[in-house]
Amino acid sequence: MQRIATLDDVARGLDALVALDPRLSAVRGRAGAVPLRLSEPGFESLASIIVSQQVSRASADAIFGRLTGLLDPLTPQAVLGAGEAVFREAGLSRPKQRGLLAAAQAVAGGLDLHHLCSLDAGEAIAALTAVPGIGPWTAECYLLFSAGHPDVFPARDVALQSAVGHALGIDPRPPEKTLIRIAESWAPWRGVASRLFWAYYREMKGRDATPIA
């Protein structure tokens, strides 16, 4: 697996995508700068993605900022030792509290988040989604932004659905299963296609919807 680790890797992937699907040339032109968005693998990165579940980027930034201010450093041990009052002060919903605690318990119990980054995407996603509160979207985003996996496309992401629908003239926006089929033609660069369409969404809507990384 060739990791997406630099902006040069992103540029190479974009060139390959345009060659695979010429429609993406116009998408690339409108999207502007396509950022790398790569974070250090580990619990804090996974926690940031859990916080990003089903909320806007602005809300996720605010919640995660409060959480890391209250628990510094943000480690599994710190999360497991925190009381519910800490989570409420940070603004975490009950489902996010449960997901964060389950992730902390899994890592404390031996789940190696660094090792997962070296695995095949399917194997890594299976290991992550075995943790309560971590669904496919969270697992896929962790592989994108912590592992730099080149060929993951989180088709459940509403911003990606909206961006692809707008860019390719699909109305209403393609649902998950349709988007999975569309994205198959962008293999083995679906991780760069994800970044491209999040950048396109930013230009389309005037706000960033990329999950925290």
Q: What is the pLDDT of residue 2?
A: 82
Is residue 160 a contact partner of residue 179, using CB atoms and an 8 Å limit?
yes
Query: Is the pLDDT higher at 2 or at 120?
Result: 120
User: CB neighbours of 189 closer than 8 A, spacing ≥ 6?
Assistant: 13, 16, 17, 20, 150, 151
User: CB neighbours of 125 closer than 8 A, spacing ≥ 6?
Assistant: 136, 139, 140, 143
The model's pLDDT over 174-201, given as tens digits with 9 standing for 90+, comes to 999 999 999 999 999 999 999 999 999 9
CA distance 55 to 99: 15
Query: Is the pLDDT higher at 17 or at 54?
Result: 17
The model's pLDDT over 118-127, given as tens digits with 9 standing for 90+, comes to 999 999 999 9
Considering the four listed CATH numbers 1.10.340.30, 3.40.50.300, 1.50.10.10, 3.30.70.1560, the one that applies to the domain covering 43-145 is 1.10.340.30
Residues across the chain: 213
Is residue 212 a contact partner of residue 51, using CB atoms and an 8 Å limit?
yes
Is residue 61 a contact partner of residue 114, using CB atoms and an 8 Å limit?
no
In the chain, where are the structural domains located? 7-37+152-205, 43-145
The model's pLDDT over 16-49, given as tens digits with 9 standing for 90+, comes to 999 999 999 999 999 999 999 999 999 999 999 9
Q: What is the pLDDT of residue 1?
A: 64
| pTM of the entire predicted model | 0.94
The token duo for 104 is: 């902390």
For domain 7-37+152-205, give the CATH number: 1.10.1670.40
CA distance 113 to 160: 25
The model's pLDDT over 63-111, given as tens digits with 9 standing for 90+, comes to 999 999 999 999 999 999 998 999 999 999 999 999 999 999 999 999 9
**How sure is the predictor about 212, in pLDDT bands with cuts at 50, 70 and 90?**
confident
